[in-house]
């Protein structure tokens, strides 16, 4: 972006455990994402991916520690945390009666003093982010009237307008068709290459995860069971044992892709 943020930060997750009531859903999770790195958390439904991101943000109670450039996030003032970390949730709740442009502009709040009017720089960042996500033509539409995919892009735009050092994306492509999914992931990839933004995302599409992330962390029943380069984590064995899936892993030019295989003839009823 022509108005870069402060560059990426190193994120460390140390011994993070979390629960819903008495049900433990994350167990001693350890992860480190280097500045400008992209780690995608993969894993079957219910393995704890969303809870992990929400815990890193401090939105879900947890044990263990999260550090951003060595500084623990517990006790970090909210505004300071919002200048470091931006989040695009899996199921965003968008406010009623707010235009798309005003919604994206909410991302500038952590950069302004309380009640101060937006400055020209704020408008510039918002306009630029909206242009890059093809939202300019939707600026005056109420954000509640956008389609699922448009809303997902608006939520991402709001997070980018925050000019964070770390972007936390929960299933950023879930509501998007393939072309829009690639557009969003290409943009995130450019931001981390040009501005050094650090990205921690979940991605349930394993082929997209294998192509875009430089590290994968495979979560299974709340534990990291494999972490490393995509080609080392995405294996047919791992897909069989943790997803119960039959699949072939194919080497692509930018990383592994997954080809699901239907059951052999004898196994179909
Ligand atoms: P994922 O994002 O990998 O699909 P989640 O982090 O959403 O997994 O969920 C992890 C586990 O926590 C699942 O078993 C899920 O059912 C449970 N869970 C998620 N949200 C709640 C909630 N609000 N109350 C109780 N259990 C929950
Ligand atoms: Mg989830």
pLDDT more than 70, % of the chain: 96
Q: Whose CA is nearest to atom 16 of ligand 1?
A: 46
Identify the pLDDT of residue 4: 46
Residue 21 falls within a domain, yes or no? yes
Indicate the average pLDDT of the chain. Answer: 92
Which residues fall within 8 angstroms of residue 111, CB to CB, at 6 or more apart?
83, 122, 162, 163
In a domain, 5, yes or no: no
Task: Compute the average pLDDT of residues 216-223.
Answer: 97
For 155, the 3-state DSSP assignment is helix
- Of 85, 107, 203, the residue nearest 155 (C-alpha): 107
Residue 3 lies in a domain: no
23 Cα: distance to centroid of ligand 1 (angstroms): 10
The count of domains in the chain is 1
Which of residues 139 and 92 earns the better pLDDT score? 139
Residues with CB under 5 A from ligand 2 (ion): 49-50, 90
pTM of this prediction? 0.92
- CATH number reported for the structural domain that contains residue 259 in this entry: 3.40.50.300
CB 175 within 8 A of CB 206: no
Ligand 1 lined by 50 (C-beta under 6 Å): yes
Domain-embedded: residue 151: yes
Cα torsion 37, 162, 187, 50: sign = positive
H helices present in the chain, as ranges: 49-56, 78-84, 100-105, 120-132, 148-161, 178-195, 206-212, 230-233, 236-243
Determine the pLDDT at residue 111: 83
Band (pLDDT 50/70/90 cuts) for residue 1 is: very low
CA gap 56, 74 in Å, rounded: 10
In a domain, 141, yes or no: yes
Q: In this structure, is residue 187 part of a structural domain?
A: yes
Average pLDDT of the segment spanning 189-201: 92
Strands in 11-20's sheet, in edge-to-edge order, are: 23-33, 11-20, 63-68, 71-72
Kindly report, residue by residue over 133-157, the tens digit of the pLDDT. Answer: 899 999 999 999 999 889 989 999 9
Could you tell me if residue 1 is inside a domain? no
DSSP-based three-state secondary structure for 189: helix
DSSP code at position 176: -
For residue 263, the enclosing domain spans 11-267
The pLDDT tens digits for 41-89 are 999 999 999 999 999 999 999 999 999 999 999 888 888 888 899 999 9
C-alpha–C-alpha distance, residues 157 and 127, integer Å: 10
Structural domain includes residue 110: yes
The separation between the first and the last C-alpha atoms of the chain, rounded to the nearest angstrom, is 54
């Amino acid at each position: 972006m022509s108005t870069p943020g402060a560059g990426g930060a190193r994120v460390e997750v140390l011994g993070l455990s979390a629960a819903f009531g008495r049900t433990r859903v994350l167990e001693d999770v350890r992860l480190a994402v280097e500045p400008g790195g992209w780690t995608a958390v993969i894993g079957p439904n219910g393995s704890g991916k969303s809870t992990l991101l929400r815990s890193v943000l401090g939105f879900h109670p947890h044990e263990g520690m999260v550090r951003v450039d060595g500084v623990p996030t517990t006790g970090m003032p909210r505004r300071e945390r919002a200048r470091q970390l931006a989040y695009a949730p899996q199921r965003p709740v968008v406010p009623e009666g707010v235009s798309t442009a005003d919604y994206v502009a909410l991302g500038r709040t952590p950069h302004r003093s309380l009640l101060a009017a937006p400055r020209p720089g704020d408008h510039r960042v918002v306009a630029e982010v909206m242009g890059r996500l093809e939202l300019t033509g939707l600026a005056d539409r109420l954000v509640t009237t956008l389609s699922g995919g448009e809303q997902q892009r608006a939520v991402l735009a709001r997070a980018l307008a925050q000019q964070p050092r770390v972007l936390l994306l929960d299933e950023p492509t879930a509501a998007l068709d393939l072309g829009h999914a690639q557009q969003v992931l290409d943009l995130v990839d450019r931001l981390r290459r040009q501005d050094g933004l650090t990205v921690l995302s979940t991605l349930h599409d394993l082929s997209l995860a294998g192509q875009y992330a430089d590290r994968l962390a495979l979560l299974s029943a709340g534990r990291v069971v494999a972490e490393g380069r995509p080609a080392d984590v995405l294996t047919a064995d791992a897909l069989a044992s943790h997803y119960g899936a039959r699949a072939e892993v194919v080497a692509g030019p930018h990383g592994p892709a997954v080809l699901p295989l239907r059951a052999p003839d004898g196994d179909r009823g």
